[in-house]
Structure 1
Amino acid sequence: MSAIAFAVALGVGVVAPAIPLLSKHFGLDAAAAGLIVSSFSLVRLIFGPLGGGLADRMGERCTLIVGLVVVALSSLLAGLSANFSQLLVFRAVGGIGSALFTVAATVLVIRAASAHVRGRAMGMYHAGFMAGGIAGPAAGGAVLAMSLRAPFFLYAGIIAIAILIAVLALRRSGSAAPQAAGTSEDPGARGVGEGGEAQESSAEAQTTELRFSEAFRSPSYVSALASNLTLGFTIVGMRSVLVPLLLTSMGTGPQWIGAALGTLAAVEVIVIYPAGHLTDTVGRRFGVLTGSLLCAIGMAALIWVPNPVMVIADMVVLGIGSAFLSTAPGALAADALQGRGGRMVAGFQMPNDLGVVLGPLTVGLLVDHGSFGLAFAVGAGSLVVCGSLALRIQPDVPSASRK
């Protein structure tokens, strides 16, 4: 799954530099390019429940492959688009495929990993995404010299490789078969879960369908949802706009923006596996609290940073914190869900997509009608709220991790 995640993120990074340039080629401004990016995320959010339902009915392997095929075809058609409207539609259709892939892939990771290694499993999975995200823009910039449309064709080719990996690597995956309503094949579905919440026995879990009303009574699941929303809103959504704007206001060039965001991504890749290990051995609550606290400190510090060098130094703190928030919530949700239901996993993923959609919009309003300080303060405050919800979870770890 890490290899597939790397290929998908690499492709996304490849087309990122091409979108604004192709929009300009069609005679439109930067706002049009932003609309293309937002439409992809918005469609992903809307079709998240569809991905969960298909994973339950068709099986995760089939849903994952269908999602990747949709992404590949949409990218190919986007590269062939004759005008902006076609480009917008084809990129939006790619969001549907991304929704199917993301939900199915997350269910596969959750079901493949037992409780005492879930943090590390989620870390490896997200590390694939981040590594691909780092390499993608560089590759995209290189092929742009050939043609404005070349990155879209390259993206389709990369996804074709991901499809081949999925077909070969998952052909014997027992957890990839269609799941009867409410069954559980989670190898880690035994014992006592995070926060001392009584976990159902394996036999009982296999005959019980977990509903949203039940899941929302779990402090673990609620904390996981809040963490994922905050990760998308603050760490992903806000930093993608705030940090470049802040550095630009300091009179720096594009190289400083690249250095800052590159430092954050590199630190997150380096730290994410150790963060997952600590989440497994010390506890899920520790992971969420550590990530929320470090990110809140990093976000608040940006209110007072005097120069770009200090901004880059602050990216180290944010990178470490976001590594914990990329691993602990997924492990926490998996503990609460006990491997049951693609719809429940989709429900966990959707807050992140919502945060990515709302984050940049909120930042623009806060900066235009307030200040950078106000925007960073709102980000830090949301992280504090996220951490406070994790305090409801008792400090416990899966019993297998103590052996």
Structure 2
Amino acid sequence: MRTRLTARARAWLARWRPVMPILVAEFVVVVGFGALLPVLPLYVVDQGVDPATLGIILAAWPAARLIFEPLFGWLADRTSRKPLMIAGLLILTVASLLPLAFHGPLELLLLRFLSGAAASMYDPAARGILVDATAEDERGEVFGLYTSAQMGGLIFGPVIGAFGAALGGGFAFPFIAAGAACAVGAAYLARALPPAAVGPRTHAPLTETSYAEYGTDSPDLAQRYVESQQRDRTPQAPLREMLNRAVIGALTMNFALYLAVGVYEVVWSLYMRHLGASLAWIGITYVLYATPVVLFSPFAGRLVDRLGGLRFAVGGGLVVGVALFIYALASEPYLPGAVILIEAMANAFLGPAMFAILSRGTPMGRTSTTQGLFGAAGTIAFIAAALATGALFALDVRLPFAVFGGIVLAFFLIGGLIARGAAPRPAST
């Protein structure tokens, strides 16, 4: 029995070894990001910032991603992805620590913008590697693993941040934890990620033995080298081919999802404190969200690969919209904890399903570019939600959840209708 389990574990590791550095780095970085999540809004408000300005400060992160993520996604399709990812994490390391020294509203705004730009260097390149390293019928599962890595970080991060701050570390503790996690992630990728973390190669490059019969100054050798470079370069489809139903539908649904994310990131901690929650319980609610996603995402990814992503994307989105309405009705801090578990199970299917739909419509050679646009759709939604949420919260603490619950439901239904009947991407030749 033990031998069989060991063999299965080795087979699993062998299958996913090409993407393992991305999964490990994502887990480490999200531990740091998660440590900051429950504390950041409280820290900003404690500096004398009102909720409306808080929304503007937190919107700076997605605003930077909106500008830079398509650019760095385009760049990642044309150059080595490894330096982009490491540079982004190193900048994030510095930007995570500086708010402890510069905590005026303008300084916090600029530092959040810098952090968003740095994340734009990392994310499209990482997702592009996942797409290029897997076959089309593995995309749902690999993005399920990717989601599990993220949510695994969110299991530990908020607990580390909230309890570290509550037990004597103060607000400085989660900022230091976030910076340290980004530094560790950069160091790990520098060692573990192969240097040529670029698009897929369909032919092996020339080796010494492949041209040993030619002299070093032979015109035939030069011609063979040129032909090999042209052959090894991944063909790129025209940009207009990204305007298909699968891509547009996935972008629309990601827009809907990040409307909800924007609401949560700006006012969740403030709303829970309004309901009477302690800092420790606020941190635990993030763990309650992350745990089901970690447990169910790999299974969900396999199911998405088998049955298709559309039904899971739309169904998961409807659960997210309804959950927002229920949060608005809460009168104490424990009902949201129960609802979070249901919403998290829906998200375990939602993430892999949207990525599978997007991958189905991604044109050849445009993986990072499409992933960059996918991220940009989410950041537009985050900006809109963050800017509106702070102002709505100032009017009534329940209003952001009620308003965006209806909007999220509408956009998921629209995205599902667009993606319905999308044609699969033509096979590469």
* TM-score, length basis structure 2: 0.74
- Contact 1:210/1:337 (<8 A) preserved: no
> Deviations 1:308-340 (Å, cap 9, x if unpaired)?
665444333322222222111212222322552
- Supply the AA of the counterpart residue of 2:82: R
CA contact (8 A) 1:300 1:380 kept: no
Question: 1:356 is matched by which residue type in structure 2?
Answer: F
Note the C-alpha offset of 1:107. 0.6
Aligned match of 1:253: 277
What's the CA shift for 1:296? 4.2
Instruction: Find the partner of 2:140 among 98, 105, 119.
Output: 119
How is 1:1-400 mapped onto 2 (pairs within 5 angstroms)? 1-16=22-37, 19-20=40-41, 23=44, 28-29=49-50, 32-81=53-102, 85-144=106-165, 145-146=168-169, 148-171=171-194, 174=196, 176-177=197-198, 185=201, 206-211=234-239, 213-216=240-243, 218-234=244-260, 236-240=261-265, 251-254=275-278, 260-299=285-324, 310-338=335-363, 340-341=365-366, 342-363=368-389, 368=395, 371=399, 373-393=402-422
The alignment partner of 2:78 has SS state of helix
Q: Work out the CA distance in 1 between the residues paired with 2:174 and 2:282.
A: 22
Segments of structure 1 that go 5 or more residues without pairing to the other structure are: 188-202
Point out where structure 2 has 5 or more consecutive residues left out of the alignment.
1-21, 204-230
Q: Which residue of 1 aligns with 2:14?
A: none
Identity among equivalent positions (%) equals: 24
Q: Do the aligned partners of 2:246 and 2:418 also contact (CA within 8 Å) in 1?
A: no
What amino acid maps onto 1:161 in structure 2?
Answer: V
Check 1:379–1:18 CA distance in 2 against 1; reply closer, same or farther (3 A cut).
closer
CA distance 1:84–1:244, change in 2 (3 Å): closer
Distance 1:131 1:302 in 2: 24
Report which of the two structures shows the higher radius of gyration computed on alpha carbons: 2
C-alpha change, 1:127 and 1:186, in structure 2 (3 Å) is farther
Contact 1:126–1:326, Cα closer than 8 Å, also in 2: yes
- In the other structure, the counterpart of 1:196 is none
Tell me which moved more, 303-312 or 339-348: 303-312
The alpha-carbon distance between structure 1 residues 30 and 340, as it changes in their structure 2 partners (threshold 3 A), is same
The structural deviation recorded for 1:185 is 4.5
The letter for the 2-side match of 1:346 is: G
Distance 1:133 1:287, change over 3 A: same
Cα deviation, residue 383, structure 1: 2.5
Stretch moving more, 252-261 or 62-71:
252-261
Q: Is the partner of 1:101 in helix, strand or coil?
A: helix
Measured in 2, the distance between the counterparts of 1:222 and 1:55 equals 21
Once the two structures are superposed, residues 188-236 of structure 1 have per-residue CA deviations (whole angstroms, 9 ceiling, x without a partner) of xxxxxxxxxxxxxxx999434330x2211x21111111121111113x1
Q: Distance in 2 between matches of 1:308 and 1:88?
A: 30
Matches of 2:177 and 2:86, distance apart in 1: 18
Deviation track 1:120-144 (CA, whole Å, cap 9, x = no partner) reads: 1111112222221232232223544
Identify if the C-alpha distance between structure 1 residues 261 and 19 changes in structure 2 by more than 3 Å, giving closer, same or farther.
closer
Shift of 1:57: 3.2
User: Post-superposition shift, 1:20?
Assistant: 4.8
User: What is the DSSP-based 3-state SS (H/G/I as helix, E as strand, rest coil) of the residue aligned with 1:209?
Assistant: coil
CA contact (8 A) 1:280 1:398 kept: no
CA separation of 1:253/1:141 partners in 2, compared to 1, >3 Å: closer, same or farther?
closer
RMSD over aligned Cα atoms: 3.6
Return the alpha-carbon distance in structure 1 between the equivalents of residues 374 and 102 of structure 2: 34
